């Protein structure tokens, strides 16, 4: 029995799940390319999430939680495990207790929904994250940030499903946040988070969000499928500027291209493959090492098998 057949067998009786098998990631990923996942599983609720993760762990099946499928590249040979799609675990609520304002969000909630709720409640603190694609869980996992702030700065606690199947809550001080990482082990699954915000001026909040969104539209190649910034910034120079100095802006491999608009983006001009994208990633890394002595590390999760 192959692993893909085993996955079908163990998921056949699982309750409260939407499951599709051999699903091309080109249908869902923001890059509009990528191989097939053996299974794409969307739990209906947290109880179903706990059950299916327990089943997968018990049977030794590799899995990865995913949100909006941004910052993700699935290689052309596909992912032989299960992608646990958190999109249905997307509740977002705002509360006030004794003058303390907080937003709670499940891991599958889009960041856009959180920023919109904060603006509607006149709560400041999320503006700089406006326009960042992806979900709360992914943003926590990679400590997403922009304009001098990040998830660490506003997170009060994170709820997670531990390797032993227990739901736990960690405060911010218990989470080893660093640049573009939350430091949590790979086998820990983030299920939600709470964020501390301040009461602000509605017009000022919306104006700042609009300014940031305009900046993103002007600077980022949003007309084409992409997965956000490809590389983490090295300590002394933004990755985009470094790639531009290497003369690689606009370089193509097949239908994948290093954006002419922002060199730290790789865009899909139409029919790019994951192999095309990886060729550009390797080219940039090689040139950066040879000419600048810099080791560039991808921000994306790159998973699956080559062909």
Do 215 and 298 fall into the same domain?
no
Inside any domain, residue 230: no
299 is catalytic: yes
Q: Would you state the pLDDT for residue 145?
A: 85
* Mean pLDDT for the chain overall: 94
Catalytic residue among 4, 57, 180, 206, which? 180
> Percent of the chain at pLDDT above 90?
82
Do 64 and 104 fall into the same domain?
no
pLDDT in tens, 268-298: 999 999 999 999 999 999 999 999 999 999 9
Contact (CB, 8 A) for 167 and 191? yes
Q: What is the CATH number of the domain that holds 99?
A: 3.30.465.10
Do 109 and 189 fall into the same domain?
yes
Q: Would you state the pLDDT for residue 307?
A: 64
Inside any domain, residue 224: no
Q: Which of 188, 219, 250 is the last residue of a domain?
A: 219
Catalytic residue among 23, 127, 159, 299, which? 299
122 is catalytic: no
Do 270 and 184 fall into the same domain?
no
Catalytic residue among 30, 104, 229, 259, which? 229
Q: What is the CATH number of the domain that holds 74?
A: 3.30.43.10
Inside any domain, residue 125: yes
Inside any domain, residue 107: yes
Inside any domain, residue 65: yes
**Can you tell me the mean pLDDT for 98-117?**
94
Q: Would you state the pLDDT for residue 159?
A: 97
pLDDT in tens, 192-238: 999 999 999 999 999 999 999 999 989 999 999 999 999 999 988 89
Q: What is the pTM of this model?
A: 0.93
Do 9 and 57 fall into the same domain?
yes
305 is catalytic: no
Domain housing 8: 3-88
């Amino acid at each position: 029995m192959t692993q893909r057949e085993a996955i079908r067998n163990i998921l056949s009786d699982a309750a409260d799940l939407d499951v599709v098998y051999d699903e091309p990631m080109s249908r869902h990923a923001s890059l509009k390319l990528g191989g097939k996942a053996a299974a794409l599983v969307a739990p209906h609720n947290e109880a179903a999430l706990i059950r299916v993760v327990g089943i997968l762990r018990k049977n030794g099946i590799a899995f990865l939680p995913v949100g909006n499928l941004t910052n993700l590249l699935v290689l052309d040979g596909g992912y032989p495990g299960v992608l646990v799609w958190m999109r249905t675990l997307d509740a977002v609520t705002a509360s006030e207790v004794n003058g303390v304002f907080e937003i709670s969000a499940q891991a599958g909630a889009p960041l856009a929904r959180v920023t919109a709720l904060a603006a509607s409640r006149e709560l400041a603190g999320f503006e700089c994250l406006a326009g960042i694609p992806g979900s709360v869980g992914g943003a926590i996992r990679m400590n997403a940030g922009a304009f001098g702030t990040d998830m660490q700065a506003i997170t009060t606690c994170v709820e997670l499903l531990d390797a032993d199947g227990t739901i736990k809550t960690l405060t911010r001080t218990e989470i080893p946040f660093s640049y573009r990482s939350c430091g949590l082990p790979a086998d820990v699954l983030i299920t939600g988070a709470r964020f501390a915000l301040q009461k602000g001026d509605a017009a000022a909040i919306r104006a700042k969000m609009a300014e940031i969104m305009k900046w993103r539209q002007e600077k980022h190649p949003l007309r084409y499928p992409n997965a956000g910034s490809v590389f983490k910034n090295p300590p002394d120079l933004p990755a985009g500027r470094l790639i531009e100095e290497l003369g690689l802006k606009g370089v193509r491999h097949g239908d994948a291209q290093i954006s002419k608009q922002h060199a730290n983006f790789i865009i899909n001009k139409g029919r790019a493959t994951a192999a095309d994208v990886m060729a550009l990633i390797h080219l940039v890394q090689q040139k950066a090492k040879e000419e600048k002595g810099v080791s560039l590390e991808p921000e994306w999760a790159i998973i699956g098998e080559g062909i």
